């Protein structure tokens, strides 16, 4: 069988087959593939595919293509016929059209088959050395089950008159009609391979209990900030499964302690956590039979946790640079506040410009009077902790301008 390029390949093969012949019959004659109503002033032969039809001899060869279950067993194949109108052009007073007609009829009578060698020649001339029709390099007509054959298709005067009448205001040219068949076309759908029979049963029956989260906190205390190396406590019901994991943002982590009502998680086990408000959920995975990898499972409702970045800051060249121990996403909203270390009053708030990539470091241009300023980074509402947490003066992190 062949792909959809078979039609164009047959036309190109016919053009290659006749090129040398017409050149020998009339010096300078060429072969082209335009519409038959395109005027020509030079000698040559025009090949025009004017219609297609089914090949009745092979119309039902591939039926049925599907099994009783509806699955595809073989690719459906169309056996087509290509009907060509060959017109001959040149100087009538030198009988060039008639010379070209005679040479063409003789050539197609002696070589009526589109051979695999001819198809290979078509592909070679289309792709090398100067590519002209590179798409022909993907044709697989040479692998078709049956070769295409070119045979004359005699038309009576009435049929010939009807054919030429479709060309608007075009004078009749000396012509001949040929049919190429069979041209076998198939679409490259994957054929479903029947599944093998069941060789072993691996069934697991279990009750479904969806985990539920009721709260998330820092193990050090409910009011303590949650930072990159905090120990997180997830509270709820039905939290223990065959395999239990906790998703924090895009990271999936394994808890250090598991019970039906409480999970403990060391956030320091993942270096890719993002600052800001992050979703938290519990995922259960099931082991089925003797499979090594877990399958399916249940997930809990989604809770939220505010991951606060811890930072270091520096100032130089009129630019403030802040580095966080958590990743800051390219599309997260980032703000820097500068405070007076002695009073805790906000001196300046700076919106950090948009970034193109995720990074732990952000920068912003800054103009301020000389002095010391405490730096607070805010990422999607999560602020870096101020040291000390209560009371004055504020001691860190501080930059000197």
CATH 2.70.50.70 positions along the chain are 212-307
Looking at the domain that runs over 311-400, which CATH code has it been given? 2.60.40
Q: d(Cα 133, Cα 139) in Å, to the nearest integer?
A: 11
Q: What pLDDT is attached to residue 285? A: 85
Per-residue pLDDT of the chain (401 residues; tens, 9 = 90+): 678 888 999 999 999 999 989 999 999 899 988 887 777 788 999 999 999 998 888 776 666 566 666 666 666 778 889 999 999 999 989 999 999 999 999 999 999 999 899 988 888 887 776 666 788 888 888 878 788 999 999 888 888 888 888 887 778 889 999 999 998 887 765 555 556 677 766 666 666 678 999 999 999 888 888 998 899 999 999 999 888 999 998 888 999 999 999 999 998 877 689 999 999 999 988 877 666 677 677 889 999 999 999 899 998 888 899 999 999 998 899 999 988 888 888 888 989 988 889 999 999 888 888 888 889 999 988 888 876 655 566 666 888 88
Q: What are the residues whose beta carbons fall under 8 Å from the beta carbon of 388, sequence distance 6 or more?
A: 394, 395
Q: d(Cα 257, Cα 63) in Å, to the nearest integer?
A: 62
Q: What pLDDT is attached to residue 368? A: 82
Q: d(Cα 299, Cα 187) in Å, to the nearest integer?
A: 42
Q: How many residues does the chain have?
A: 401
Question: Quick one: which of 90, 97, 233, 112 has its CA closest to 178?
Answer: 112
Given a contact cutoff of 8 angstroms between Cβ atoms, the answer to whether 207 and 233 are in contact is: no
Question: Quick one: which of 274, 276, 275, 279 has its CA closest to 302?
Answer: 279
Within 10 angstroms of residue 96's Cβ, the number of other Cβ atoms is: 23
Q: What pLDDT is attached to residue 225? A: 87
Alpha helices by DSSP H, 153-241: 157-165
CATH 2.60.40 positions along the chain are 311-400
Please state at what angle helix 6-25 crosses helix 116-127, rounded to 10 degrees: 90
Q: What pLDDT is attached to residue 192? A: 55
Q: What pLDDT is attached to residue 56? A: 83
Looking at the domain that runs over 212-307, which CATH code has it been given? 2.70.50.70
Q: What pLDDT is attached to residue 163? A: 87
Q: Is the pTM of this model over 0.75?
A: no
CA atoms within 13 A on the CB side of 131: 6
Distances (CA, A) of 255 to 208, 235, 282, 283, 294: 21, 12, 10, 11, 17
Q: Is the peptide bond before 393 cis (omega within 30 degrees of 0)?
A: yes
């Amino acid at each position: 069988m062949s792909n959809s390029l078979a039609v164009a390949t047959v036309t190109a093969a016919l053009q290659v087959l006749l090129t040398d012949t017409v050149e020998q019959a009339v010096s300078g004659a060429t072969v082209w593939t335009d519409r038959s109503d395109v005027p020509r002033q030079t000698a040559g032969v025009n090949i025009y595919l004017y219609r297609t039809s089914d090949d009745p001899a092979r119309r039902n060869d591939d039926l049925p293509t599907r099994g009783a279950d509806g699955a595809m067993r073989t690719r459906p194949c169309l056996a087509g016929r290509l009907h060509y109108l060959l017109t001959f052009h040149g100087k009538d007073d030198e009988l060039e059209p008639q010379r070209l007609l005679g040479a063409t009829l003789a050539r197609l009578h002696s070589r009526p088959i589109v051979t695999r060698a001819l198809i290979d020649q078509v592909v070679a001339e289309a792709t090398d050395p100067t590519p002209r029709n590179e798409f022909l390099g993907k044709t697989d007509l040479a692998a078709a089950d049956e070769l295409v054959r070119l045979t004359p298709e005699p038309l009576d005067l009435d049929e010939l008159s009807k054919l030429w009448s479709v060309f608007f205001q075009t004078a009749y040219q000396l012509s001949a009609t040929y049919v190429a068949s069979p041209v076998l076309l198939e679409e490259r759908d994957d054929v479903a391979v029947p599944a093998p029979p069941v060789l072993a049963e691996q069934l697991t029956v279990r009750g479904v209990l969806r985990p539920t989260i009721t709260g998330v906190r820092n193990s050090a205390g409910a009011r303590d900030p949650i930072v990159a190396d905090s120990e997180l406590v997830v509270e709820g019901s039905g939290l223990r499964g065959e395999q239990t994991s906790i998703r924090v943002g895009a990271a999936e982590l394994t808890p250090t302690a598991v019970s039906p009502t409480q999970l403990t998680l060391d956030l320091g086990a993942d270096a890719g956590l993002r600052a800001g408000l992050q979703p938290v959920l519990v995922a259960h995975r099931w082991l089925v039979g003797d499979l090594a990898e877990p399958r399916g499972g249940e997930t809990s409702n989604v809770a939220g946790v505010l991951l606060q970045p811890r930072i270091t800051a520096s100032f130089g060249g009129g630019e403030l640079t802040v580095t966080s121990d958590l990743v800051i996403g390219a599309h997260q909203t980032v703000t820097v506040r500068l405070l007076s270390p002695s009073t805790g009053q906000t001196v300046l708030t700076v919106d950090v410009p948009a970034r193109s990539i995720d990074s732990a470091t952000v920068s912003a241009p800054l103009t301020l009077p000389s002095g010391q300023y405490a730096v607070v980074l805010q990422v999607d509402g999560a602020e870096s902790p101020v040291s000390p947490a209560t009371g004055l003066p504020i001691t860190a992190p501080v930059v000197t301008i």
